[in-house]
Structure 1
């Protein structure tokens, strides 16, 4: 365990996420329908989401400064999302507003085995190509689902600013060309993927796991209920999941990234960053919605103590 004492200096550290702000509609279904058939859904409720914004909200809830670079539509202000982010003191000065397009939206369907199918409306996100990356005078820039070309530009800009770069291709992985993926990897300090995305990236780049690990300082692969593995400097660090009652797995990965990066800036070693990340995710999956049940830092510390982990 790493020894750590919280300070005001630590709490002034800042993470900016790049990528989608979205309105989510989340459904639990008994099974996915076959083509040309239908299934019933119990209800339809709007939630705040978007992978980048999930990370930004998680970072803010955990006590660090947070911001986001994104594109939203004409319906963003009246959706309540805008005032919600401002109340969390999240920096939205680099959010582009479109007068013609809707805010991105996701329709997410989860079966009893926690398999998911997502339909995503890009809407205002089509404008990423028109944007220039801001000056990233922050501690970490996290690149989430969004426009691959814009993410590549942001990775390059962040590195030129001396900023640590984190990347999670997520479900937008099929949008990346081999060239875009190679370019972004050349600028990374952290790369997060689940085990399915990990295999797809290896296939896309036509390399083996050893070659990928040589390219990335810290590689984190998540395996759902089986925990995660952190690869760094030739070491393989296994991190268990924190057992809990899973109601909705949506947003678990984003909350893991928020917890990990926050812990890293607070000075924890990589194993403890993973434990803290797993603990943050354990809260989020207990309720439906990616941001519904984000914990505070004290909530995380107390849950880990309950699990016998006392040095956080």
Structure 2
């Protein structure tokens, strides 16, 4: 089973502020904010939702084909994908644009301030879901028009897919989100995005869950909650060995979901696979620097949750 991963490719410039944002921002002065943070640590990473999900799925041995639009500066990223053996057959290069760029500043409490330049991502609608070779899809944060188009194409072709609005959710109003709910098979959001979904659609969590086969809400260190067919599964968070960098944990979680869906796992196991992926990612800086073999993952899963994966 091959999954088409629709989303962004980006370069992430990640900076670490050796303090707490809350100590530098005066609440009564936010209307005239002028703040500078000294960031002695900085690195540039390969990122973007499609790139990150494809990377994590590759580690698990899952079959994924990322689809996205990239810019004239993509050569280094392309070489990285080739080294990993991740296909580039569904990538389109936009020579007049840069690859999307994220500038992320993280403080010592893992709060983040991000500036994002979409660049080539705005051309996502120039790519279409292929007619064959795909049995599962995900619509992750990407260009607005592209996300809508790809969701409609998955539905038209009868391909089940995950709607993962992520940080792109503010681009859509209530009518847009209801349209996605009509099309999607599964929806996954974090707890903040779940609240925003409720505010914009007027639908409760249960009402959203009734519209799709499964509604997955991640809650950081409190685990995740999966609602499906009238049942609710409380999934514990995995116990990371260290807390290094939360960037990309959501993408790692979604790769775990795709892997589990490809293998027909029950929802309790699927949630735990996804949780462990997020737990492993947070132990490493950047979004594509963690490594493991499938056997190592299975052993850690058994140690973590008390039973093995087939």
TM-score w.r.t. the length of structure 2 is 0.91
The answer to whether the 8 A contact 1:56-1:68 is kept is: yes
Q: Deviations over 1:112-134 (max 9, x none)?
A: 22222211111111222444443
Give the match for residue 49 of structure 2: 51
CA spacing shift, 1:270–1:103, aligned 2, 3 Å: same
Q: Deviations over 1:82-106 (max 9, x none)?
A: 0211233322222111111111011
Give the match for residue 309 of structure 1: 306
Give the match for residue 91 of structure 2: 95
Give the match for residue 238 of structure 1: 234
Give the match for residue 65 of structure 2: 67
Q: How do residues 1-312 of structure 1 correspond to structure 2 at under 5 angstroms?
A: 13-29=1-17, 30-32=19-21, 33-34=24-25, 35-77=33-75, 80-135=76-131, 137-244=133-240, 245-312=242-309
C-alpha distance in structure 1 between counterparts of 2:186 and 2:291, whole Å: 22
The answer to whether the 8 A contact 2:9-2:49 is kept is: yes
CA RMSD of aligned residues (A): 1.5
CA spacing shift, 1:257–1:294, aligned 2, 3 Å: farther
CA spacing shift, 1:260–1:157, aligned 2, 3 Å: same
Alpha-carbon distance, 1:289 to partner: 0.4
Alpha-carbon distance, 1:308 to partner: 4.9
The answer to whether the 8 A contact 1:242-1:279 is kept is: yes
Alpha-carbon distance, 1:310 to partner: 2.4
Alpha-carbon distance, 1:64 to partner: 1.7
SS at match of 1:186: helix
The answer to whether the 8 A contact 1:17-1:142 is kept is: yes
Q: Deviations over 1:122-169 (max 9, x none)?
A: 111122244444335312111111123221221121122221111111
C-alpha distance in structure 2 between counterparts of 1:246 and 1:136, whole Å: 41
Q: Structure 1: 5+ residue runs without aligned partners?
A: 1-12
State how many pairs are aligned: 298
Q: After the TM superposition, which of the residue ranges 130-139 and 156-165 deviates more from structure 2? A: 130-139
SS at match of 1:53: helix
The answer to whether the 8 A contact 1:136-1:161 is kept is: no
Q: Deviations over 1:41-93 (max 9, x none)?
A: 0222111110121111111111122111111111101xx21021123332222
C-alpha distance in structure 1 between counterparts of 2:225 and 2:149, whole Å: 28
C-alpha distance in structure 1 between counterparts of 2:3 and 2:20, whole Å: 38
TM-score w.r.t. the length of structure 1 is 0.91
